[in-house]
Amino acid sequence: MKIEFETYVIFVAFITSFFAVFLSAGIVLGVPAIAAEFGMNNIFQNWIITLNALVIAIFTLPAGQISGKYGVKKSLIAGVSIYLLASIGACLSFSTESFLIFRVFQGIGIAFSNVSAMAMVVQAVKPQNRGKALGFTVTGVYLAGSLSPVLCGFLVHNFGWRTMFYFVIPFLMLCIVLMIFKIPQEWKTYEDSKIDSLGYVIYGIGITLFIYGFTNLMNEFGAISIIVGTVLLIVFGYYELKVDSPAFNMNLFKNMKFTSSNVAALCSYLAIASITTILNYHFQYVRGWNAQMSGMILIITPIIMAIIAPNAGKLSDRIHPQKLAAIGMGIATITLTILIFLDANTPLYLIVIAMILQGIGMGLFTTPNTNAIMSSVPPNETPNASAAQSAMRTMGQTISMGLLTLVFAWIMGDLILSSQYANLIVQCSQLICLICTILCIIAIFASLVGVRSKDAFNIDNKV
């Protein structure tokens, strides 16, 4: 049986999306073991996750223009190759510094993979099937989130944390082979554009200072960093409106459906991204479970998301996607309200109920919201739209982990995380969940603003 061209595209996007998330989600289970081997305090320990997310946020916008100029398939191959080599390097790490360096390169590879995979799907698949195709791609994200806690928990507990990185290597190699031999077509939308190097520098420095400052607000340098970073990001936005070949087309934000969907995405990831880490810390430090046991429980939310996401994608081809997104965030808000009261005496069944609701809510939100973003721009702007969508996700995840680092540093100082400080860990978790509940409510209102907008979706464009 001959496999159609579009099927290969969707399959490759699924695989790359899966493994872009697999380590990001699964490494949470290995963080205590990594920190113990390298003697990290709680601040460095949280940066294992935060640093990778920060690098993805920095390189996401450049990946949009570069993939549009040189080709989304070439960019995807390059991104997966960098991710592959960095994963091999992480296996060979011998110190905190060497491990974090390879985490940086993993972030670069993931940034290019995320943007290029999504843009390739939108370019290759017919508009009337776009929601369905994006649903399968997003399912890769959620399936990775479903399997990674179990697989990574098992690997870490029985064979050590390095086996998490060994596990991804053959799959990344398969993805590269399929792209080279089974996807002959290339897509270029900005072939005649110049690379906006100055814009990248302004954005990269700005977002780095902002995130670093956010995680160090308790000292004077942190406050100065966040102010300077904010100013540079404003300068970046103004500069992009003036140049002929911008790193990012800021005019896309004139479309209220595009803007509201991106704001909703940013707030949703701000609210949700740190929840897995909070629950993992609760299970391992407050309840005293091992990584394998924790992973068995953490599978609940992402596996429900993996079931709902493709169906929500199909539904968003027929029903206004931002209405579905608002409903999803409303359900996710209930989850965070429950977790505000999380402590050592919280019944396990109540935590499970909260995780189920989180899976339903985010499954209903993410695919329709992604469809809204990608369908609100003309076909030639899909790399930019993909970059914006990835940027909102990664910035939201990064700032969410930055918030976690900030709260833990404020309440615990530089103490090493352990069961003897369970009461302090509970205080940190409750405060973070309270803040995240407010962010979920903002995401609901952002989606509703998009529903009322008179701007049209570009569902009839030919690609």
Q: Average pLDDT of 40-69? A: 78
**Tell me: the pLDDT tens digits for 314-327?**
777 677 788 888 89
Residues 6+ apart with CB under 8 A from 253: 259, 262
pLDDT bracket for residue 129 (50, 70, 90): low
How confident is residue 356, by pLDDT bands cut at 50, 70 and 90?
very high
In terms of average pLDDT, the best of 207-216, 261-270, 299-308, 411-420 is 261-270
Distance CA 211, CA 222 (A): 9
Query: What integer best gives the mean pLDDT of the chain?
Result: 82
Q: If you average pLDDT over residues 57-78, what whole number do you get? A: 83
* pLDDT confidence band for 432 (50 / 70 / 90): very high
pLDDT tens for 249-291 read 787 888 888 888 888 888 888 888 888 888 888 898 888 888 7
pLDDT at 187 over 50: yes
pLDDT, tens digit (0-9, with 9 covering 90-100), for 79-110: 999 999 999 998 888 888 888 899 999 989 99
pLDDT at 456: 57
Best mean pLDDT range from 56-65, 297-306, 426-435: 426-435
Query: Which tokens hold the place of 157?
Result: 């507990």
The upper half-sphere exposure of residue 228, i.e. CA atoms within 13 Å in the direction of its Cβ, equals 13
Between 20 and 328, the more confident residue is: 328
Residue 453 pLDDT level (bands cut at 50, 70, 90): low
Whether residue 193 is predicted with pLDDT greater than 80 in this model: the reply is no
Confidence of residue 128 (pLDDT cuts 50, 70, 90): low
- Residues 8 and 430: their CA atoms lie apart, in Å, by 44
Q: Where are the domains of the chain?
A: 5-186+245-452, 196-244
Give the up-direction half-sphere exposure of residue 252: CA atoms within 13 A in the CB hemisphere: 31
| Interatomic CA distance for residues 250 and 151, integer angstroms | 41
Residues 347 and 365: their CA atoms lie apart, in Å, by: 27
DSSP letter, residue 192: T
The full length of the chain comes to 463
pLDDT at 1: 39
- The CATH number assigned to the domain with range 5-186+245-452 reads 1.20.1250.20
Stretch 12-25: mean pLDDT: 82
CB atoms within 10 A of CB 414: 10
